[in-house]
Amino acid sequence: MRAVVIHAAHDLRIEEREPGAMGPGEVTVRIEAGGICGSDLHYYHHGGFGTVRLREPMILGHEVAGTIAAVGSDVTGLKPGDRVAVNPSRPCRACRYCLEGLPNQCLNMRFYGSAMPMPHIQGAFREMLVCDAVQCEKAGTASVAELAMAEPFAVTLHALSRAPSLLGKRVLITGCGPIGALTVAAARFHGAAEIIVTDVVDEPLAYARELGADRTINTANEPEALAALGVDKGTVGVMFECSGNERALRSGLEVVRPRGTIVQVGLGGEMSLPQNVVVAKEIALTGSFRFHEEFPLAVRLIDQRKVDLRPLLTGSYGIADAVEAFETAGDRKRAMKVQLAF
């Protein structure tokens, strides 16, 4: 089978790999769609991110969906021909955090396409994937392209679980990449009264409006546009910071109301914060990392069209054009969510 393998920054190759044999409780999935994520782009452009670096060739990809090709003899509930989204998160289910009900904090996590451990955890951008049957969420009507967005949508659903109820609240989302845009859809579904989205590029903001944002602000062109939200110590109930940018987080501190909540979703470098603002306004600042139980919910909402994420898909490329796909995905003026079609 063919697989998309990263060797070093800008060294992406299509290689032949063995899919492996199925074991007990496993299935073989014919992968048909795979979304290019921000972490995939970091490996492609920089050979890693932060202290995480490529030390051996690695198959990329974790946002995938396809069709069941074969099932193990002991597998029930799935059959060849079923369309599925594949959960890339594989906690060990035995460490202290798994046993405490925090599998997203697993000490022995095996997450597809990760260079954190050595040897690396090989990813899912491959024509055939042997995986645990429990990783597969079956769908009925959604296309594989839609189902491949279940993983990033689950990330945003988990972020919402880290915040208080959004019902009737004014919500601010900073950073309108795919995660920021998906947070718009999730916040609208959860009853936010008003959703305001900021970014420094116009093109992504158009997607936010299509998914339900009430107002969008290009803070590069309108640096003072948020000031009105800071009246009377702030008027934003919940903020989702999706850019990983210190300036965005600082601007949010000025407009979040007393006892409001900021959920940090985007990954960035070291940040310095005005502690006096956090203390004086009693702001709750919390992180959000990956997901777990939200993945089946994401698939269900997509499959039942409770949310329509199709406007986010801006390009689909064959596996032979993977380099072009990665170059396009890194251009925020041209692309929101780019997928590979296997």
133-158, pLDDT tens digit by residue?
A: 999 999 999 999 999 999 999 999 99
d(CA 218, CA 198): 6
Instruction: Report the pLDDT value the prediction gives residue 267, as an integer from 0 to 100.
Output: 85
Residue 269 has pLDDT above 80, yes or no: no
Instruction: Report the pLDDT value the prediction gives residue 299, as an integer from 0 to 100.
Output: 98
- Whether the CB-CB separation of 8 and 115 falls below 8 Å is answered with no
Per-residue pLDDT band for 235 (boundaries 50, 70, 90) equals very high
Q: Which domains does the chain have, with CATH numbers?
A: 2-149+309-341 (3.90.180.10), 154-287 (3.40.50.720)
Residues in the chain: 342
Instruction: Report the pLDDT value the prediction gives residue 223, as an integer from 0 to 100.
Output: 87
C-alpha dist (Å) from residue 242 to 42, 178, 179, 306: 16, 9, 7, 23
Residue 306 has pLDDT above 80, yes or no: yes
Q: Whole-prediction pTM value?
A: 0.96
Nearest one of 296, 272, 249 to 86, comparing CA atoms: 296
Instruction: Tell me the average pLDDT across 97-112.
Output: 97
